[in-house]
Amino acid sequence: MDKEIFLTSETAWCPGCGDHNILDALKQSLIDLGKAPHEVLIVGGIGQAAKTPQYINTNGFCGLHGRSLPPAVAAKIVNKELTVIINTGEGDCYGEGGNHFIHNIRRNVDITQFVHDNQIYGLTKGQASPTTDIGHVTDVQPNGSNNIPMNPVALAITLGAGFVARAFSGDKEHLKEIMIEAIKHKGYAIVDILQPCISFNKINTFQWYNKRVYKLGKEYNPSDKLKAIEKSMEWGDKIPLGILYKEEKSDFHDKVSFLKDNKSLVESEVKTIKIKEFMKDFI
């Protein structure tokens, strides 16, 4: 496939931002998977990471803050042949969109979510986000953040997500490998991507991560849920990268008979409904 197929115009991200590597890895993942632009939908909410649909030559949708999942889920339900990928930030997904995040795990719609997790609100100039460590000083939290940071991978595993991984934007090749496996997974897949914000997070830098991250080895068994939970709790001196948990299970389409046994809804016959006659059943 032509490597130029997913190239787009200049981005508005800061030079050195981890988002650049994430976008490059995403493009290469789609090329390696043999995807064509018309076969892919990239969805975002609001935020720096959520600008991704504007920077890649595929179908794209930019929604409201924290509301990237609803349109992505709807698009996949009506067109099961479409590869649906969400690119969003940790504030958009775990903060404003936390409720959607939780309940899409329960639905297990076959979509992939890449969360650019820089532990800060980068678009709105550096407030503490849901994953900001305790004590992190910002202009809005001058005495340091005092909220317990969210652990998204631990939450996803305990809620029953079938594919949970963590990657690092500083290792583009490994990130691409994780992205490919996440996209191939049948069901909801989430990858929390550690992505330094060079403008507003001066603590969790590329150097900070490089001293702490390590890749899970071949001996690690991602089907062991208890071990996965244990690994998901590692943070600080050691931070594991890779597929933390993977389980094959029925996805949303498998559990709904008219979606499982029939072609995509977008190809189904459209039935004209006369509203007045339809409402008679409710009067």
Summarize pLDDT for 52-104 with one digit per residue, the tens: 888 998 999 998 887 889 999 999 999 989 999 999 988 788 888 878 899 99
Reported confidence tier of residue 280, pLDDT bands at 50, 70, 90: confident
Reported confidence tier of residue 48, pLDDT bands at 50, 70, 90: confident
Type of residue at 96: E
pLDDT reading at 19 higher than 80? yes
With 0-12 / 13-18 / 19 or more C-beta atoms within 10 angstroms meaning exposed / middle / buried, residue 73 is buried
pLDDT reading at 274 higher than 70? no
Q: Which helix (H) or strand (E) holds 40?
A: strand 40-44
CA torsion angle 22 28 32 38 (round to 10): 90
pLDDT value of residue 125: 79
Comparison of pLDDT for 206 and 140, the residue scoring more: 206
In angstroms, rounded to a whole number, what is the distance separating the alpha carbons of residues 166 and 244? 7
pLDDT reading at 167 higher than 80? yes
Query: What domains sit in the chain, N to C, each tagged with a CATH number?
Result: 19-252 (3.40.50.970)
As a whole-number percent, the residues of the chain with pLDDT over 90 amount to 55
Half-sphere exposure of 179 (CA within 13 A, CB side): 30
* 246 within 8 A of 162, measured Cβ to Cβ: yes
* 29 within 8 A of 174, measured Cβ to Cβ: no
The one-character DSSP state at 92 is I
CB-based contacts of 75: which residues, under 8 Å, 6+ apart? 41, 43, 61, 82, 84
pLDDT reading at 39 higher than 80? yes
Closest among 141, 94, 96 to 116, alpha carbons compared: 94
pLDDT reading at 1 higher than 60? no
How much is the pTM? 0.89
pLDDT value of residue 248: 94
pLDDT value of residue 46: 86
In angstroms, rounded to a whole number, what is the distance separating the alpha carbons of residues 42 and 71? 11
Q: What is the CA radius of gyration of the chain?
A: 20
pLDDT reading at 47 higher than 70? yes
pLDDT value of residue 66: 78
In angstroms, rounded to a whole number, what is the distance separating the alpha carbons of residues 150 and 98? 11
The model's pLDDT over 199-216, given as tens digits with 9 standing for 90+, comes to 888 888 999 999 999 999
Query: Which two structure tokens, joined as six digits, stand for 124?
Result: 């709105």
pLDDT value of residue 271: 55
The model's pLDDT over 183-192, given as tens digits with 9 standing for 90+, comes to 999 999 999 9
State CA 46 to chain mean position distance: 13
pLDDT value of residue 122: 79
In angstroms, rounded to a whole number, what is the distance separating the alpha carbons of residues 31 and 4? 10
Question: Are β-strands 239-246 and 112-117 bridged in parallel, bridged antiparallel, or unpaired?
Answer: unpaired
DSSP-derived secondary structure for 25-74: HHHHHHHHTT--GGGEEEEE-SSSGGGGGGGSSSEEEE-STT-SHHHHHH
pLDDT reading at 270 higher than 80? no
Closest among 116, 234, 101 to 179, alpha carbons compared: 116
